[in-house]
């Protein structure tokens, strides 16, 4: 017998916290998603969205969304997006919003990384939708690049332990292979 502690929940974690943006009733709205998965060599993104979420309205209506990776500096505003509904507060005023090719996928200027996506499929999982989006274009702040490549240490993403203690963390040091 192997000496391991068993868990019912998924321990594929930690993952970066992302703010998913969509236009709802002609205003940008953002919510926090803890499980965001790139696939097809990064050409597509998948996430699960509870059907009662306000942002879902805009994703279904426009068939677009954005993925915004906030830095540690945005922890408080990110927490508001994860704890308050767009039905109750106007999240469009929390950030400086901008748009790329997709005019209905609002992005957050203050986030070091932004990705605009168009919905290719919505899967029905009882209480949740499985949202699959094709990456149209990605954006990164120049200050987060090292030799023209994205350097996640400069992004300072908020990392969320989606299994275990369910807390926020920061990214650690790069491991060097000798």
pLDDT digits (tens, 9 = 90+) for 134-147: 999 999 999 999 99
**Could you tell me how far CA 163 lies from the centroid of its own chain?**
17
What's the rounded mean pLDDT across residues 62-78?
A: 97
Token code pair at residue 63: 């068939």
**Could you tell me how far CA 14 lies from the centroid of its own chain?**
13
pLDDT at 174 over 90: no
140-147 contact pairs (CB < 8 A, 24+): 140/112, 140/113, 140/114, 141/112, 141/113, 143/112, 144/112, 144/113
Q: Return the CATH number of 16-142, one of 3.90.1560.10, 3.40.640.10, 3.40.1190.20, 2.30.110.10.
A: 2.30.110.10
What's the rounded mean pLDDT across residues 25-32?
A: 96
39-43 contact pairs (CB < 8 A, 24+): 42/135, 43/134, 43/135
Is the pTM higher than 0.75? yes
Domain residue ranges of the chain, discontinuous segments joined by +: 16-142
Comparing 53-57, 72-76, 150-154, 168-172, the range with the smallest average pLDDT is 168-172
147-150 contact pairs (CB < 8 A, 24+): 150/113
Cα-Cα end-to-end distance for the chain: 34
Looking at residue 167, its pLDDT comes to 83
- pLDDT bin (cut points 50, 70, 90) of residue 149 is very high
């Amino acid at each position: 017998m192997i000496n391991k502690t068993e868990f019912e929940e998924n321990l594929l974690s930690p993952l970066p916290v992302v703010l998913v943006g969509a236009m709802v009733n002609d205003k940008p709205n953002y919510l926090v998603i803890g499980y965001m998965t790139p696939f097809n060599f990064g050409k597509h993104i998948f996430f699960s969205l509870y059907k009662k979420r306000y942002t879902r309205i805009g994703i279904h209506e426009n068939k677009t969304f954005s993925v915004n990776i906030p830095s540690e500096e945005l922890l408080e505003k990110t927490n508001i997006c994860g704890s308050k509904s767009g039905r109750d507060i106007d999240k469009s005023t929390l950030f400086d919003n901008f748009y790329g090719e997709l005019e209905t996928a609002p992005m957050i200027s203050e986030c070091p990384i932004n990705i605009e996506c168009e919905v290719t499929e919505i899967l029905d999982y009882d209480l949740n939708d499985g949202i699959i989006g094709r990456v149209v274009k990605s954006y990164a702040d120049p200050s987060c690049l090292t030799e023209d490549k994205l350097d996640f240490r400069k992004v300072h993403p908020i990392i969320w332990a989606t299994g275990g203690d369910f807390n926020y963390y920061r990214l650690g040091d790069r491991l060097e292979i000798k």
